[in-house]
């Protein structure tokens, strides 16, 4: 029951920041995969041209975690790196994660994702990489780095 309550609280917190999407070069909703630590299904919803909510349901291969549920609020900097075709925004933000572990207490932590994505011309696909410092607050305080590469289709 504790796991379900934590997951619902994280989802509700992310949705509370939501507002209607404005016109963007891509669709406002993307779905894809992340590969790294953790690996799984990635979802992203642009609230406007620069702000987005990204979430994932993923699995850790580090040996002590079964399932991660993570949600981040992101800000994109489109003018930092100019490219001839497509877009190359740098993004950063803050979020949270719950790591459900078998035979151990679940972890609750704060995420600070920093990354870069390439949005192809036409706005149908993007690829991205991120490095994420994570400060676990419960059941014990711990600091780790996670990272992933991924791709998304935009609708």
**Are the C-beta atoms of residues 116 and 80 closer than 8 Å to each other?**
no
pLDDT over 50 (residue 98) = yes
Split at pLDDT 50, 70, 90, the class of 59 is very high
User: Secondary structure of the chain in the HEC alphabet?
Assistant: CHHHHHHHHHHHHHHHCCCCCCCCCCCCEEEEEEEEECEEEEEEEECCCCEEEEEEEEECCCCCCCEEEEEEEEEEECCCCCCCCCECCEEEEEEEEEEECCCCCCEEEEECCEEEEEECCCCCEEEEEEEEEEEEEECCCEEEEEEEEEEEEEC
For the chain, what is the domain count? 1
Question: pLDDT category, 18, cuts 50, 70, 90?
Answer: very low
Return the CATH number at 94: 2.40.160.20
Q: Which domain holds residue 131?
A: 2-154
Q: What pLDDT was estimated at residue 63?
A: 67
**pLDDT of 103 strictly over 90:** no
Q: What tokens appear for 128 in the block?
A: 């991205």
**CA 135, chain centre distance (Å):** 15
In contact, 123 and 27? CB cutoff 8 Å: yes
pLDDT of residue 16: 44
Claim: this prediction has a pTM higher than 0.85: no
Residue 20 reports pLDDT greater than 60: no
pLDDT band for 5, please (50, 70, 90 cuts): very low
Q: What is the mean pLDDT of residues 94-107?
A: 91
């Amino acid at each position: 029951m504790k796991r379900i309550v934590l997951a619902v609280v994280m989802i509700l917190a992310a949705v509370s920041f939501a507002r209607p999407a404005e016109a963007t070069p891509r669709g406002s909703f993307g779905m894809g995969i992340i590969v790294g630590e953790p690996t799984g299904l990635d979802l992203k919803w642009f609230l406007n041209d620069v702000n987005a909510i990204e979430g994932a349901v993923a699995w850790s291969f580090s040996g002590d975690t079964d399932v991660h549920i993570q949600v981040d609020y992101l800000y994109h900097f489109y003018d930092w790196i100019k490219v001839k075709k497509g877009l190359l925004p740098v993004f950063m933000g803050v979020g949270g994660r719950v790591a459900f572990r078998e035979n151990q207490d679940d972890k609750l932590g704060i995420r600070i994702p920093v990354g870069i994505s390439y949005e192809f011309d036409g706005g149908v696909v993007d690829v991205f990489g991120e490095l994420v410092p994570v400060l676990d607050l419960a059941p014990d305080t711990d600091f780790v780095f996670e990272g992933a590469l991924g791709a998304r289709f935009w609708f």
